[in-house]
């Protein structure tokens, strides 16, 4: 049997989709997985500012999956592999997440030039990141930092750091691990300082709901803990109507039959920030819990 797997063409996307394909093939001997690279709107266009991103229907999130979902809906590919944090709040009708493989460490990391440590980063330190979520939370901790837009793949950003275009980078640790760059000196930033994006560190394997055979094959990759955590985070994202145009963060941590849940939300300029730490005691009611939490966030702003 042969399945066509859709993915973005970035080094990270190819690395994580390749790892997913290898895991799937090991579960289904004889299965061949063809990689289909699809250029997305997010790859073609660089959103230069939060203001431009907010003009898009779902911020920049939908831009990194739009064309891949369209290919999936039209039957040009059989399944797709995404970074879960790139998924918009709502999937294209008729599509579903067949599997969330085991999650990597969802934390962000600080990589300093010349051995610079986060605790030593003071006023005037230039931090490379284009993430509004990171920018707002880090400036709340150290208002004197200078935030510089920093786009491109991980290797490009590391090269810019080495060339002195910034003093430090903030990246997702999962990306370093999946690219085989975990040995690059870095500091994992505590979630009390910098809460991650919903779904960060997780992969989402998407398929058409009417392709039951494909869905059942992919389901063997599913990790229950990852699914419960990410779906709770995405439920909050959906309730807040969030994309990349607002500083929104969410992190669920499964603990037995419950989940500790932390969220962050503010205006794009960082004003009126709200952080809440709650416990979801009934995971079967995750959507209702997320709806109530979103209401509490709005009432405190």
CB-based burial label for 51 (10 Å; 0-12, 13-18, 19+): exposed
Least confidently predicted of 22-26, 30-34, 46-50, 271-275? 46-50
pLDDT at res. 134? 97
The answer to whether 38 and 69 have CB atoms below 8 angstroms apart is no
- Residue found under tokens 């230069």: 48
Mean pLDDT of the region 172-176: 97
The Cα 103–Cα 106 span in angstroms is 8
Confidence of residue 41 (pLDDT cuts 50, 70, 90): confident
List the catalytic residue out of 78, 86, 108, 167. Answer: 86
Q: What is the DSSP string of 36-84?
A: EE---HHHH----SHHHHHTSEEEEGGGGTHHHHHHHHTTSSSEEEEEG
Q: List the chain domain ranges.
A: 2-104+198-299, 108-188
Q: What is the mean pLDDT of the chain?
A: 92
Confidence of residue 48 (pLDDT cuts 50, 70, 90): very low
pLDDT at res. 60? 57
Secondary structure of residue 148 in the 3-state scheme = strand
Give percent above pLDDT 90 in the chain.
85
What digits encode the pLDDT tens for the residues 226-264? Answer: 999 999 999 999 999 866 578 999 999 999 999 999 999
User: Is 167 a residue of the active site?
Assistant: no
CA-wise closest residue to 85 among 107, 67, 70: 107
Q: Does domain 108-188 correspond to CATH entry 3.40.190.10?
A: yes
Q: Identical fold at 2-104+198-299 and 108-188? A: yes
What digits encode the pLDDT tens for the residues 270-293? Answer: 999 999 999 999 999 999 999 999
The answer to whether 229 and 254 have CB atoms below 8 angstroms apart is yes
Q: What predicted TM-score, i.e. pTM, was given to this entire model?
A: 0.91
Q: Regarding beta strands 146-148 and 126-128, do their DSSP bridges make them parallel or antiparallel, or are they unpaired?
A: parallel
CA-wise closest residue to 135 among 120, 122, 150: 150
Q: Does domain 2-104+198-299 correspond to CATH entry 3.90.930.12?
A: no
Residue 50 has pLDDT above 60, yes or no: no
What digits encode the pLDDT tens for the residues 60-88? Answer: 556 779 899 999 999 999 999 999 999 98
pLDDT at res. 263? 97
pLDDT at res. 58? 44
pLDDT at res. 241? 83
- What angle (nearest 5°) sits at the alpha carbon of residue 229, between those of residues 28 and 43? 70
């Amino acid at each position: 049997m042969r399945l066509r797997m859709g993915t973005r063409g970035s080094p990270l996307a190819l690395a994580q989709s390749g790892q997913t394909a290898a895991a799937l093939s090991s579960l289904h001997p004889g299965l061949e997985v063809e990689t289909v690279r699809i250029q997305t709107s997010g790859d073609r266009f660089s959103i230069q500012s939060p203001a431009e991103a907010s003009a898009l229907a779902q911020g920049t999130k939908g831009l990194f999956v739009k064309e891949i979902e369209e290919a999936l809906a039209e039957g040009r590919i059989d399944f797709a592999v995404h970074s879960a944090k790139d998924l918009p709040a709502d999937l294209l009708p008729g599509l579903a997440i067949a599997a969330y493989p085991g999650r990597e460490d969802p934390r962000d990391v600080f990589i300093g030039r010349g051995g610079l440590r986060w605790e030593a980063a003071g006023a005037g330190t230039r931090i490379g990141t284009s993430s509004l979520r990171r920018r707002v939370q880090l400036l709340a901790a150290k208002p004197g930092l200078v935030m510089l837009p920093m786009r491109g793949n991980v290797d490009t950003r590391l090269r810019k750091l080495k060339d002195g275009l910034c003093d430090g980078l903030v990246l997702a640790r999962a990306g370093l691990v999946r690219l085989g760059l975990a040995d690059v000196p870095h500091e994992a930033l505590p979630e009390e300082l910098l809460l991650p994006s919903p779904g960060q560190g997780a992969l989402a394997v998407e398929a058409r709901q009417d392709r039951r055979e494909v869905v059942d094959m992919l389901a063997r990759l599913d990790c229950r803990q990852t699914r419960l955590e990410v779906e709770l985070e995405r439920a909050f994202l959906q309730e807040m109507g969030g994309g990349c145009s607002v500083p929104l963060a969410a992190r669920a941590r499964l603990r037995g039959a419950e989940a500790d849940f932390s969220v962050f939300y503010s205006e794009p300029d960082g004003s009126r920030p709200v952080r809440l730490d709650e416990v979801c005691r009934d995971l079967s009611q995750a959507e209702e819990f997320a709806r109530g939490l979103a209401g509490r966030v709005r009432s405190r702003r």
